[in-house]
Structure 1
Amino acid sequence: MSRSRAHQEPLADVTAPRPPTIRCRTCKRPLTDAISRSRRLGPECDPDRQGAHQRHDIDQDPLPGT
């Protein structure tokens, strides 16, 4: 059982394929979040996930003197 270091098997399988890079359909950025990967939309591009960050305009009176 005495093997030299040159004949030892590697600890990890270095030839294992990496998971495919999934990109956003809109902006083409790589996705890492499981929900984003399943929807193929990043959090900035997914309209269902933008509820808390949506911009809304407010009607205001003009400033005096402008």
Structure 2
Amino acid sequence: MKEGDEDATTSVTPSMSDPTLGDVLAAVSAVAERVYRIEIALTTVADDQALIRERLFETTDG
């Protein structure tokens, strides 16, 4: 490295397009909310499948 050259890690400055911590936290929160809704949907599907299996076995047993 020549004298006067700066290391890339020391010369990085934020630009207007860089997200703020608030932007990052908002994005993470939005993703967490979507994951939570997907988890609820999958749980509902699993519960529905369990009910279907239970009813199926009731009709085949009786």
TM-score by length of 1: 0.30
Higher helix proportion: 2
Q: Which has the higher contact order (CA 8 A, sep 6+)?
A: 1
Q: Which has the larger radius of gyration?
A: 2
TM-score by length of 2: 0.31
